[in-house]
Structure 1
């Protein structure tokens, strides 16, 4: 049966009508030039590194992998799908040629192409939510699973679209949203974990400022347990005054570390915030609960949750440490 590939027709599927009329699919990466003489994945990786030195290593590897697949892995006779977003239609066809190169194609923007025998069109609205989700990758080229292609085959054969109830569609969309949120949260935590200690201290101070406090950040060096002092006036004269300790390491903080932090919270009205990206032991939480002064232990999950809640109020200096993009989802 061969494989099925989705080849994206540029952003928003703008080239889909051209793909159809010219009976082709094409990919870009014009700076890489003619890659038809390259053989191994390593060859493609080196070409991308040379052509796009300003890109990150992961981005170079992703580009190399997609071009390698288009030139070397895709076979004549394989099935191909591309999406025309203006008509909300998937074009379905068959690969009819080996990879070719034309530096003038699409004004040179998409020079590497394959001839296609277009066979059918399938409306996106006729697909299940699961299929729509699987076809939503932003990659230029990726493999479509056999299960999803069977949906295309059934619809091309005249089968009636599976009419899912609004409740079922809502549940599938909710599952997808929760998966997206969970992945996003982990990516944000990964980014926070890569900050160095000073950046983590500045991020925590920025969070407190977004919550309405003014902060004093201790300079590098011995700080006697006070990394940040937050208060309404910025001097620590007005209550509440929050003494903050920031630990940015993999290991958990235990009882001894919490006791050491409590020792610097001397004034009756002071409160403590202990931030540890490595988390805390169960005994540490118990020690904090029995302290005379109120103290909050904040692990990485708590920190990121608070950042997301107050991100819109953060100043530019803090946002630079952790740049985030807003993603909209149908209500």
Structure 2
């Protein structure tokens, strides 16, 4: 089914839904960034919007500037009359769908914190339960304004009265959402490690992880280490086997067989070798490790698994570095054919 030539937009009314009355009672959609003033007076290019945000919000993180500028630019210059707007209200837990009917206007007298406005006519108000989990996830984006693309057809069907509540057991998007949340978390963890723990700090982190797993560790001082970054053992003195010699690589690329072989060359009989990296291992490296019963490789994905497993035991320093909170996501249970 081809959709009409219109754009579907998702919009939020602030972190706590503080613009809910403005949206639903006064029939506006709005954005904040009140310090900037009238957005229509900014030249119609994204770079100009970025410069204005840096000027008016100098304390904002650099990474947020293009995101914020893009939202403001699209609200003024890309959104058009006739587009569909989707507003998931935090107040009444309904999803409100409307048609954009006004051009951009600046009016701080209506609600001072949300001076950037467009008139909207609400045409449908539906409970969240009528929509698929995937559609709800898409309109739950972290941004204030964003395009809805993946589930635009579902929202059009909702407007047309064709969308029926989908039984949870038949909602295939539940699994997709759960996977996306998990993948996003894994990406976040690896990105933080790669950016914040280059070189010796990564060895210290791996040592802390091994401590959480029940090992005592001796970490080599920063500088030349002879190919061994950590020695791990179970007893206080480090005499009782198993003795584990650990090498860590904070690079994100592939680690090859020469590095793995070099580590194994330093492992004495009765000892174990462990190579930890943030990236991956080549097939040759994996094959070499498989042939050695006392050698183990841990790549970036394995590392994330261990972090999630032992996270509650991390000290405050590393919890601050990788801030996570426990979230429950739906688990898809396969139905038996029997």
Is this a same-fold pair by TM over 0.5? yes
Partner of 1:151: 157
Give the alignment partner of residue 83 of structure 2, picking from 78, 87, 91.
Answer: 78
* Alignment gaps of 5+ in structure 2: 332-338
Moved more, 241-250 or 314-323: 314-323
Alignment of 1:173-188 (within 5 A): 173-188=174-189
8 A contact 1:203–1:321 mirrored in 2: no
Match of 1:191 in 2: 192
Could you tell me which of 116, 120, 140 is aligned with 2:120? 116
Using the TM superposition, give the Cα deviation of residue 43 of structure 1 relative to its aligned residue in structure 2, in angstroms.
1.0
With over 3 angstroms needed to count, the CA separation of the structure-2 counterparts of 1:71 and 1:246, relative to structure 1, is same
Matched residue, 1:25: 29
Distance 2:260 2:39 in 1: 59
- Are 2:67 and 1:65 aligned? no
**Aligned positions of 1:123-162 closer than 5 A:** 123-145=127-149, 146-155=152-161, 159=162, 161-162=163-164
Shift, 1:191, TM fit: 2.8
TM-score, length basis structure 1:
0.87
Distance 1:326 1:255 in 2: 38
**CA deviation after TM superposition for structure 1 residue 209, in Å:** 0.9
**2-side partners of 1:29 and 1:14: how far apart?**
14
Superposed CA deviations along residues 230-260 of structure 1, whole A, max 9, x for unmatched, are 2234542233322111123355444432332
Deviation at 1:46, TM superposition (A): 0.9
List gaps (5 residues or longer) in structure 1: none
Which of 203, 206, 211 is residue 205 of structure 2 equivalent to?
203
- Distance change in 2, residues 1:237/1:166 (3 Å): same
CA contact (8 A) 2:134 2:177 kept: no
What is the Cα deviation at residue 212 of structure 1?
1.3
Q: Aligned-residue CA RMSD in angstroms?
A: 2.5
CA distance in 1, matches of 2:288, 2:80: 64
- Give the CA deviation at 1:227: 0.6
Q: Tell me which of 69, 82, 105 is aligned to 1:100.
A: 105
CA distance in 2, matches of 1:187, 1:61: 19
How far, CA to CA, are the matches of 1:245 and 1:12 in structure 2? 47
Query: In proportion to residue count, which structure has more helix?
Result: 1
Distance 1:290 1:149 in 2: 54
1:141-173 Cα shifts (integer Å, max 9, x gaps): 122344133223222xxx4x424233202x431
Tell me, in whole angstroms, the C-alpha distance in 2 between the residues paired with 1:167 and 1:196.
45
> Any idea what SS the aligned residue of 2:25 has?
helix
- Per-residue CA distance 1:261-290 (angstroms, 9 max, x = gap): 223223x44222111334333333343344
Kept in 1: contact 2:202–2:248 (CA 8 A): yes
